[in-house]
Amino acid sequence: MEKSERRPITLAASLAGLRLIGAGAVLGLALAVPASPAQADPPRPPATTQDTADETPEI
C-alpha cells in the first residue's frame, strides 16, 4: 500500500476555501429562516376618518 503524497496548501487557498464555506453557510441560513411576519402580512389600507367615525358609539 502506497502512502498518498500530501501537498502543502497555501494560506491564500486556505482562506479562499474558508470564505466559500462561510458564504455557503450564510446562504443556507438565509434560505432556512422563514420570512418575517411583516413581509408575510399583506399591507392594510389606511383607515379613513369616516371609518373611525362609524365605529364610535354615539351617546
Instruction: Give the pLDDT band (50/70/90) at residue 32.
Output: confident
What cell was used for 32?
Answer: 432556512
Alpha-carbon distance 51 to 9, whole Å?
70
Query: What cell was used for 37?
Result: 411576519
- Percent share of the chain, pLDDT over 90: 31
What is the reported pLDDT for 44? 72
pLDDT of residue 8: 87
Q: Find where cell 450564510 sits.
A: 26
| pLDDT higher than threshold 60 for residue 53 | no
pTM recorded for the entire structure: 0.43
